[in-house]
């Protein structure tokens, strides 16, 4: 099972440009720098509630985008299939996998 932090970082890697500047900033502090809501609120001199609400809205936005686009799911599925193909150790498959990875 994927952790929420790992999931959010993965979604941020793909879709962070679709968030507002404030949402990006708070998500970065929370998920990438591992700051608490209280620490973020103190750092930015805003309320704890504002931090929580913004992170919740950004999280829902990222999940909604992924539900519609499914780029992360597609990428992860492709990586799993490539791993399975590599395990077969057949020269022809290795050549195809190499070409797929270059795409």
Q: Find the mean pLDDT for residues 8-30.
A: 97
- Rg value, the chain, Cα: 18
Residue 102 CA to its chain's centroid (Å): 22
Q: Which two tokens stand for residue 96?
A: 């195809």
Task: Report the distance separating Cα 31 and Cα 70, nearest Å.
Answer: 21
* The pLDDT value given to residue 42: 97
* The pLDDT value given to residue 89: 67
The whole-model pTM stands at 0.79
32 close to 24: Cβ distance less than 8 angstroms: no
Give the tens place of pLDDT for each residue, 31-50. 999 999 999 999 999 999 99
Give the tens place of pLDDT for each residue, 45-92. 999 999 999 999 999 999 999 999 999 998 988 888 888 777 776 777
Domains of the chain, each with CATH number or no CATH: 1-69 (1.10.10.10), 70-103 (no CATH)
* The pLDDT value given to residue 2: 67
* The pLDDT value given to residue 46: 97
């Amino acid at each position: 099972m994927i952790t929420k932090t790992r999931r959010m970082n993965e979604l941020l890697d793909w879709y962070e440009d679709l968030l507002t500047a404030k949402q990006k900033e708070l998500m970065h502090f929370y998920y990438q720098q591992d700051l608490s809501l209280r620490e973020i609120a103190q750092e930015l001199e805003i309320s704890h509630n504002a931090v929580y609400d913004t992170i919740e809205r950004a999280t829902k936005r990222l999940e909604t985008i992924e539900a519609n686009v499914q780029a992360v799911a597609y990428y992860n599925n492709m990586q799993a299939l490539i791993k399975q193909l590599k395990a077969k150790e057949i020269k022809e498959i290795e050549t195809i996998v190499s070409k797929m990875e270059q795409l």
